[in-house]
Structure 1
């Protein structure tokens, strides 16, 4: 608690006056009258009491300063710990972001691969359907040619039987 300036100035003036009186009385120590001895005693006791008050005040202030220093040190340590936790959380977040990006990249790659495989499967299916259509057309052409030119009955029956088997095989795959 800060004292008003006027109070501090008055105490300093009183202290300076007491010290002047003390010096004067100490210079005349061998010739002191009982009144001077009483004045000397009063000055010394007042200074001693004031000094003791100051020591108690300083002691209390020292304890307060030490407590505050302890609190500041604890706050500094807490700040360092929070900063370390923040840095660790940032590192974790960076790793999660990297992992997420890797998953996104891999997911996109997998989707692209899946789309590529589907596209190629569709292309192969179209080619297979086109080949089946060509085989059916060829079977129709051969059957028509065999029926249009009957020369050998056994040979014609064999061709027609082969064509039926080819068509049956084609029908079972579609």
Structure 2
């Protein structure tokens, strides 16, 4: 992740990762037969931590929106950029796609207690992904309070007012 964060996915090689880790290239090649294997392992590890955090947050629905805001606003920007780069690669590399899909399922499951409608959940999930992206791009990135206000609005019940122009 440090290599991806600093230099992008194109810089990842077994030798580069070995140098970063301070181990012989043969040690990396023994465990990871290809660069795709390295990238999948990195994305899986990132996803494991995020999915576990979402599952933990979901245990207390009263504090979950605040916890999600803290999760979204907390990451190190270099690491977050690396994560996003790997998730974008999932669109082109099928070996990574299952991890992107796992993230989507985890966010959907987190949002389900708040939003019955799958369309509302999909919109809220897209907004959560967008908040992470803003963390990569904006200077300064959105803070916990701003992200919390957005998440609360996303998961709050909607009034059944007029549908708008037809």
Same fold at TM > 0.5: no
* Structure with more helix by fraction: 1
> For the superposition of Structure 1 and Structure 2, which TM-score range results when normalised by the shorter chain?
under 0.3
* Greater C-alpha Rg: 1
TM-score normalised according to structure 1 size: 0.23
TM-score normalised according to structure 2 size: 0.24
